[in-house]
Amino acid sequence: MQQHPTPFIFNSDQGGQFTSQPSKQALLQVGCRISRDGRGHTTDNAFMESLWRSVK
């Protein structure tokens, strides 16, 4: 977060590195909202991946 602008919303899966207390506190301290994909929803990100593949 020191090298890039702070995102308004940080979206991630429910992996341990994203749900740890230090990670959550770091995001909340800079005013970032946290959003997580649902567990077991493998197609949550399919639309965005398809969109960025088209953009590239």
Q: Is there a contact between 5 and 32 (Cβ–Cβ < 8 Å)?
A: no
User: Is the residue at 35 inside a domain?
Assistant: yes
Contacts of residue 18, Cβ cutoff 8 Å, sequence gap at least 6: 12, 36
- Reported pTM: 0.50
pLDDT at 5: 79
What is the four-CA torsion angle of 19, 36, 14, 12, rounded to 10 degrees?
-90
CA-closest candidate to residue 8, choices 37, 28, 36? 28
The per-residue pLDDT for range 16-52, each reduced to its tens digit, is 666 788 888 888 888 888 887 666 555 666 777 788 7
Residue 22 included in any domain? yes
User: Given pLDDT bands bounded at 50, 70 and 90, which one contains residue 2?
Assistant: confident
The answer to whether residue 19 is domain-embedded is yes
Query: Could you tell me if residue 30 is inside a domain?
Result: yes
> Is residue 3 a part of any domain in this protein?
no
What local confidence, expressed as pLDDT, does residue 24 receive? 85
**Is 37 contained in some domain?**
yes
pLDDT of residue 32: 87
Please tell me the total count of domains within the chain. Answer: 1
Range of the domain at 22: 9-55
